[in-house]
């Protein structure tokens, strides 16, 4: 009775372990004695054996040909070439757009955005700003009605 109350956990552990390794003689002796005494653990062991038999029956061994590795590598190399172009195409499109934007920016910067206007009487003077008073520290902007055409 003592083996049955305190040995069920150990028995269930050993029932799983016996599939993975060879039990020691001490463990095997305990295993056999407990199986004879405890009906619940015997049923647990039978369920485990049934499950292992089902797993073994369901497992299939694949049939691999001799040139399997060569075929896999050939498909991998072929797919890499196809993927490389499609992978980098957004980068090429982005680079082309960036080049166009850079060229447009350079074109805009090459031209002077501020045109110089000359008042009558000022030959070649830079009249972007035009002061009524020569002593003024803040310039007045040229208005359209004051520009010469």
Say what the pLDDT of residue 3 is. Answer: 45
Q: 30: helix, coil or strand?
A: helix
Cα-Cα-Cα-Cα dihedral sign, residues 9, 15, 20, 25: positive
Give residues with Cβ within 8 angstroms of 90, minimum separation 6: none
Tokens of 101: 């934007």
Q: Per mean pLDDT, which range of 5-14, 67-76, 132-141 is the poorest? A: 132-141
Question: φ, ψ for residue 141 (rounded to 5)?
Answer: -75, 150
Question: Looking at the whole model, is its pTM more than 0.85?
Answer: no
| Inter-helix orientation angle 25-37/2-20, to 10° | 130
């Amino acid at each position: 009775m003592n083996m049955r109350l305190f040995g069920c956990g150990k028995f269930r552990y050993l029932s799983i372990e016996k599939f993975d390794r060879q039990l020691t003689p001490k463990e095997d002796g305990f295993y056999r004695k407990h199986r004879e005494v405890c009906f619940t653990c015997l049923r647990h062991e039978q369920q485990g054996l049934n499950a292992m038999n089902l797993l073994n029956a369901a497992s299939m061994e694949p049939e691999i040909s001799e040139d399997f590795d060569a075929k896999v590598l050939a498909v991998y190399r072929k797919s890499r070439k196809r993927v490389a172009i499609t992978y980098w195409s957004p980068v090429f499109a982005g680079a082309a757009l960036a080049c166009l934007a850079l060229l447009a920016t350079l074109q805009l910067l090459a031209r002077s955005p501020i045109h110089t206007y000359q008042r009558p009487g000022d030959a070649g003077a830079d009249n972007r700003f035009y002061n009524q008073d020569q002593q003024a520290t803040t310039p007045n902007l040229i208005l359209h009605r004051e520009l010469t055409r």
